[in-house]
Amino acid sequence: MTEPILSLRDLSVTFDVRPRGAWPWTAPLKLQAVSQMTFDLAPGECLGVVGESGSGKSTLARAIVGTVPSSGGQINFEGADLAAMTPRERRVHRRDVQMIFQDPLAALNPRMTVGDIIAEPLVTHEPGLSRADRKSRVQDMMKRVGLLPNLVNRYPHEFSGGQCQRIGIARALILKPKLLICDEPVSALDVSVQAQVVNLLRELQRDMGLSMIFIAHDLSVVKHISDRIVVMYLGRQMETADARTITTRPEHPYTQALISSVPIPDPVLERKRPRTTLDGELPSPISPPSGCVFRTRCPKAQATCAQALPPMLEVGPGHRVACPYHQAENVLAVSA
């Protein structure tokens, strides 16, 4: 069996939040943005991460990259625990883990030309590269992402949103990383452009042998590009399975609600199909519900759901669910 390129074990991220108007000596509140996330990512695999806004998806991505510190757990990348390293020690692995951001224009320096933006990682990580070689690699990467090489001297504001995202992709891939994290890379783009960018990422992943984590709200987009999917709610893992299983046989009530929200192109079927709706809003991560964090909005919740945090249950090959009342044959508890 192939060893995973990335393994998360009980990864948690906590922020200190001081209420407005609080005295300086008042103890800060704890905001649990990510709690006990555990999954593996195989070489060449694309893992989708879905959930509502505030579920902790972007914080998870930033913890893996290292832009926010983790407060517990392990981030094992090719056998090295990134969570236990100092920023200086992580620098060795930084070129192998790159990220694409949600807002394509805000992620680019408006004072730098496109050529300088894409070449910046080469200047940092390969300072011995000659100017001619650097220019050649930038132009080759621009071609691969669908940009004309003669646009190297233009500035980000002269490009459309889709083109700016292609610039961000080129910058992330110029170092030929092993892991690419896409933090909602198409949410700010038009629908037609979304399809182009998603297809480009699939093509680049296949050609370059990339492992990828793809974060999005839209489950229909995630299932198109992902091999497996992780469903998050309020910083916790609700369900994990391959993309086909998640979209055709969801077991967790929250996953079922997400699937129900995806529209069907046929208007007749769209009107007739049953829907699973959620009442209320996402609870505050500063004071999450006791027991199962989803119980305050779950249509199947019972009084005992508030008593203990549900374990992740193995309900099929590679299919894990965190629901205390899930009924299935041969259910095995794999973690507490």
pLDDT reported for residue 331: 42
List the chain domain ranges: 6-19+29-96+177-255
Tokens of 148: 């004309």
CB 70 within 8 A of CB 11: yes
Residue 194: alpha-carbon gap to chain centroid: 17
Residue 253: alpha-carbon gap to chain centroid: 21
Rounded Cα distance, 106 and 101, in Å:
9
Q: Which homologous superfamily does the CATH classification assign to the domain defined by 6-19+29-96+177-255?
A: P-loop containing nucleotide triphosphate hydrolases (3.40.50.300)
- pLDDT per position as a tens digit, 217-271: 888 889 889 999 999 999 999 999 999 999 889 999 999 888 887 777 767 766 7
Task: Kindly report the pTM of this predicted structure.
Answer: 0.90
332's enclosing H/E stretch is strand 332-333
Contact partners, residue 145, CB within 8 Å, separation at least 6: 166, 167, 169, 170, 173, 200, 204
Phi/psi at 268 (5° precision): -70, -50
CB 195 within 8 A of CB 79: no
Beta bridge partners of 237: 232
- How many distinct helices (H) and strands (E) make up the chain? 10, 13
Mean pLDDT by 10 residues, the chain (336 residues): 89 90 84 94 96 92 93 93 88 91 90 95 93 95 94 94 94 95 89 90 94 90 92 95 92 89 72 75 89 89 86 89 62 42
- Give buried/exposed letters for 215-224 (b at 16+ CB in 10 A, else e): bbbbbebbbb
CA nearest neighbour of 229 among 202, 255, 211: 255
DSSP 149: G
DSSP β-ladder status, 46-50 and 228-233 = parallel
pLDDT reported for residue 308: 86
CA nearest neighbour of 48 among 268, 271, 201: 201
CB 312 within 8 A of CB 334: yes
Query: E-strand spans in 131-252?
Result: 179-183, 211-216, 228-233, 236-242
Tokens of 105: 């224009």
Tokens of 334: 């794999």
